Amino acid sequence: MSDELIAVFADPDAASHALTALAGEGVTRTRIASPAPFPAVEETGRPGPWRVLGWVALVAGLTGLACAMALEVVTSKSMGQIVGGKPPVSWTAFGVVMFEMTMLFAGIATFIATIVLAAITRRQVARRARDAVTSERIVVTIPLDGTNADHREAITRCVSAAVEVLP
Amino acid sequence: MTPISQPVSQPISQIETDTLQTISRTTWRYWLGLAIAVGLTAIGGWCWSQMLRHGLGVSGLNAPVMWGVMITTFVFFIGVSHSGTLVSAILFFTRSPLRAAIGRSAEGMTVIAILTAGLYPIIHIGRSWMFFFVLPYPNQRGLWPNFRSPLTWDVFAICSYVTVSALFLYMGMLPDLALLARRVTGWRKPVYRILSLGFAGTDGEWCLFEKAYPIFAGIVIPLAVSVHSVVSWDFAMTVMPGWHSAIFPPYFVAGAIFSGLAMAILLLGGLRRGYHLERYIKADHFDLLAKLLLAMSIVMTFVYATEFYVAFYRGGSTEAELFRWRATGSYAPLFWLVVACNTVAPLACFWKRVRRSLPAMIVIAVLVTVGMWFERFVFIVTTLAHSFDPAAWRTYKPTLIELGVCLGGFGWFLMLFLLFIKVFPAMSIAETMQGQHAATREGADE
């Protein structure tokens, strides 16, 4: 387990100020866990694989489109009947289901991807830090690997507004 | 009432306590509402059992009016479902502070309304156990759904919409469910922990959610518009007078938003009054909803006028005769009730005092809800009752069994909503905290 300091703040602004001060001391790789997306979340450099979500939605949407086309064309051809004057393969009529399935697949895939990626990314924050979060407690984790005594003292000063510091 | 711009004065943690009142506190009003809802549902269930037992003969449906109260209620609840997620998604994109207070209830209303609406086509087919015939699955009969039929489009549109809306609602609830899992004790703790899917509020998770949410909102908005457009095509793709019109999709979408807003006002008014959430569900929320309601009322009035104008401009057509009959024939009282409720009553929202008065808005919302149900009834029934062949003209009168099934739908809707707010937070705790923090910061900066 890596050496790290866990500072618990009661105020989102205090957490935000601490993160700014830590950045000034050259401490990067800080992480935060909070009950709401307060501005302090932005201070850690927006980590995580969130950029892939757009691509997941796009690929899943195109898959849904292809599935809808296949479903409609194959099933309509297997029956081969002209209904309402429209030929078995009638793209104007098929468009609606194609649209719906595109959106359906994109939505489901985005949800699954978000949940899976969230499960992966949350493991980068220590469990005891995650467990310390409540509606009135915002937790900042600071890596101490390779820091000397002076640096640690500076870090401690940066988190002086914390209501609790877990070693 | 408290204006929205004024920050709530209590600490952030108090927000959790206040907003979770719907779960932690059960008032006599809640029990009364639930008892009424369960009672109506039971009546509806019994009426449906009569239909299953004796067939559709117990309804007033007969040629040529083969669509009546049940399809009316289906279209009505699809309309109600339309507004919730749509409004929530639009408020998300506009970064409106109103979303924290009304988004969750509106999204819940959407999912519950669509689950209610989905029951009615199943009830309406009479032999409800044969419903699976509409689903595309390999079968021994070698039959597949007809993908050129708007009724098949409807099945796909509604299934997609309910799935994506439910995921949209659920994803937004995960942070709150995680907070709840930390707060509750006993058997509910592991239940909420499982439901929260391990959400811990880390920066990586928030970044993922911030990215996922606009994607979802971007999917939900066109889906919501498509669903009611597809429902309108159930009518507009026919050649029936009064239905075969290009104006139907926007007409249905506007009507859906209109009725959904009215239902949202009713539910939020109930929540505010029942749980004293005045600090969160404020006069400004009702003011905004009232303005939207007024705008949609004007759109609806324009659509009603356009329909009549086009029908009479053509002259001498079946359509002109139908519209004349709609306004003067057997269903004329209902038609004018629709005009009074949907066109005249919302005009009161031009006055600020009315918009900011909860009792006044509740009355208007009830009138609009009634008006929108009857609007669907009038346009469905009058077209079928008075179409091309005068020899086939016939009026339709719903039986008590049908009305019971309809009332059951309203009871079912209310029951599910009351259970929803008892199990899940009725307002977004995380978003309310975020909004409170932002408002406090703005106040400090000024």
What does the pLDDT average to over B252-260? 91
CA distance B202 to chain A (A): 4
Residue B50: per-residue pLDDT: 95
Nearest to B437 among A38, A90, A118 (CB): A38
Q: Which tokens hold the place of B439?
A: 């408002």
**CB pair distance less than 8 Å for A54 and B146:** no
Q: Do B200 and A130 touch (CB under 8 A)?
A: yes
B13–chain A Cβ distance below 8 A for any pair: yes
Distance CA B125, CA B131 (A): 8
Grade residue A146 by pLDDT with cuts at 50, 70 and 90. confident
Residue to test with chain B: of A16, A28, A32, A41, most B Cβ within 10 A: A41
How high does pLDDT run on average in chain B? 89
CATH value at residue A139:
3.30.70
Please indicate, yes or no, whether residues A42 and A81 belong to a single structural domain of this protein: no
Q: Does pLDDT of B360 surpass 80? A: yes
Q: Looking at CA atoms only, how far is residue B356 from chain A in angstroms?
A: 30
CA nearest B113: which of B131, B134, B135, B86? B86
Q: What is the least distance, in Å, from the CA of A148 to any CA of chain B?
A: 27
* Residue in chain B nearest A81 by alpha carbon: B146
- Please tell me if residue B156 touches chain A, with a CB cutoff of 8 Å: yes
Q: What is the DSSP letter of B243?
A: T
pLDDT, tens only, B210-255: 889 899 989 999 999 999 899 999 999 999 999 998 999 999 999 9
Chain A positions touching B183 (Cβ under 8 A) are 135
- If asked whether residues A90 and A56 sit together in one domain, one would say yes
Do the Cβ atoms of B72 and B373 come closer than 8 Å?
yes
pLDDT bucket at B2, cuts 50 / 70 / 90: very low
| Cβ separation A79–B144 shorter than 8 A | yes
pLDDT at B98: 76
pLDDT at B156 over 90: yes
Q: At what angle do helices B99-124 and B150-183 cross, to 10 degrees?
A: 140
Given A53, A90, A122, which is nearest B200 (Cβ)? A122
Is any Cβ of chain B less than 8 angstroms from the Cβ of A46? yes
Q: Which two tokens stand for residue A41?
A: 């979340």
* B253 neighbors B259 (Cβ within 8 angstroms): no
Residue B234's nearest CA partner among B102, B120, B85 is B120
Task: From chain B, pick out residues whose CB is under 8 angstroms from the CB of A36.
Answer: 175, 201, 429-431, 433-434, 437
Answer yes or no: is pLDDT of A101 > 80. yes
Residue B97 confidence (pLDDT) above 80: no
Instruction: Supply the Cα-derived Rg of chain A in whole angstroms.
Output: 25
Which chain B residues touch A46 with a CB distance below 8 Å?
A: 203, 207
Residues 6+ apart with CB under 8 A from A16: A38, A39, A40, A43
Q: Do A103 and B160 touch (CB under 8 A)?
A: yes
CA angle B192–B20–B170, rounded 5-degree value:
45
Contacts of A90 in chain B (CB under 8 A): 147-148
pLDDT at residue B1 is higher than 50: no
Q: Please report residues of A whose CB lies closer than 8 A to that of B145.
A: 75
Residue of B16, B164, B211 with shortest CB distance to A53: B211
Listed residue (B176, B374, B163, B150) closest to B244, CA to CA: B150
- Closest CB from B148, B157, B433 relative to A36: B433
Tally of domains in chain A: 2
Instruction: Compute the average pLDDT of residues A48-77.
Output: 92
Residue B192 lies in a domain: yes
pTM: 0.90
Number of domains chain B contains: 1
Q: Is the pLDDT of residue B7 over 60?
A: no
A57: chain B residues, CB-CB within 8 Å: 215, 219
Residue B74 corresponds to which tokens in the numbers above? Answer: 């289906």
The DSSP annotation for B28-74 comes to HHHHHHHHHHHHHHHHHHHHHHHHHHH-GGGSS-BTTB---HHHHHH
Tens of pLDDT, residue by residue over B378-399, are 999 999 999 999 999 999 999 9
What are the chain A neighbours of B11 within 8 Å (beta carbons)? Answer: 136
Q: What is the CATH number of the domain that holds B283?
A: 1.20.1630.10
For residues B43 and B31, what is the distance between their CA atoms, to the nearest angstrom? Answer: 18
> Residue B400: its pLDDT value, please?
96
Environment class of A1 (CB within 10 Å of its CB; exposed 0-12, middle 13-18, buried 19+):
exposed
Residue B4 lies in a domain: no
pLDDT reported for residue B446? 65
Give bridge partners of residue B65 from the DSSP assignment. B62
Confidence of residue B8 (pLDDT cuts 50, 70, 90): very low
A29 in reach of chain B (CB within 8 A): no
CB < 8 Å from B in window 122-161 of A: 122, 124-125, 130, 133-136
The residue segments making up the domain with residue A60 are: 52-120
- How far apart, in whole angstroms, are the C-alpha atoms of residue A41 and residue B252? 42
Neighbouring C-alpha atoms within 13 Å toward the C-beta of B182: 20
Handedness of CA A16, A21, A24, A25 (dihedral sign): negative
Min Cα separation A18/chain B (Å): 15
At residue A129, the pLDDT reads 85
For residue A141, list chain B residues with Cβ-Cβ distance below 8 A.
none
Q: Please state the φ and ψ torsions of residue A8, each to the nearest 5 degrees.
A: -105, 125
Could you tell me if A116 lies within 8 Å of chain B, comparing CB atoms? no
- Containing structural domain, residue B172: 33-136+144-438
A112 and A66 in one domain? Answer: yes
Chain A contacts in chain B segment 122-151 (CB below 8 A): 136, 142-150
The minimal CB distance from B203 to the residues A47, A49, A51 is found for A47
Residues of A in contact with B156 (CB under 8 A): 96-97, 100-101
Which chain B residue is nearest to residue A126, measuring alpha carbons? B202
Nearest to B434 among A37, A44, A124 (CB): A37
pLDDT of B322 above 90: yes
Q: What is the rounded average pLDDT of the residues A33-46?
A: 80
Question: Where residue B3 falls among pLDDT bands split at 50, 70, 90?
Answer: very low
Write out the two tokens for B195. Answer: 């439901």
So what's the pLDDT on residue B6? 43
Residues of A in contact with B13 (CB under 8 A): 134-136
Chain B: closest CA distance from residue A21 (Å) = 18
Angle A113-B116-B261 from CA coordinates, rounded to 5°: 85
Q: Which has the closest alpha carbon to B158: B222, B221, B228, B217?
A: B228
What is the average per-residue pLDDT within B20-41? Answer: 91
Flag whether residue B413 sits within 8 Å of chain A, measured between CB atoms. Answer: no
Under 8 Å between Cβ of B258 and B342: yes
Task: Give the pLDDT confidence score for residue B10 in this predicted structure.
Answer: 57
- Residue ranges in A89-148 assigned as alpha helix (H): 91-122, 127-131
Contacts of A115 in chain B (CB under 8 A): 197
pLDDT of residue B117: 93
C-beta neighbour count of B268 within 10 angstroms: 25
Higher-scoring residue by pLDDT: B265, B21: B265
Q: What is the pLDDT of residue A55?
A: 94
pLDDT band at B445 (very low <50, low <70, confident <90, very high): low
Phi, psi dihedral angles at A134 (to 5 degrees): -135, -175
How many helices (H) and strands (E) chain A has is answered by 5, 4
Query: Once rounded to an integer, what is the mean pLDDT over residues B278-289?
Result: 86
Chosen from A22, A31, A34 to mutate, greatest number of chain B CBs within 10 A: A34
User: Does A63 share its domain with A114?
Assistant: yes
Sequence-separated (6 or more) residues with CB below 8 Å from residue B204: A31, A47, A48, A50, A118, A121, A122, A124, A125
Residue position matching structure tokens 């179409």: B387
B1 domain-assigned: no
Minimum Cα–Cα distance from A131: chain B residue:
B200
Task: Give Cα A94 to chain centroid, integer Å.
Answer: 35
| Domain match, A72 and A109 both | yes
Whole-number pLDDT of residue A2: 60
Give the 3-state secondary structure of residue B94.
Answer: coil
Hey, what are A135's tokens? 């509606």
What local confidence, expressed as pLDDT, does residue B12 receive?
67
Residues A64 and A83 in one domain: yes
- Contact criterion met (CB < 8 Å) for B204 and A106: no
**Residue among B360, B236, B343 nearest B286 (CA):** B360
Q: What is the mean pLDDT of residues B91-96?
A: 81
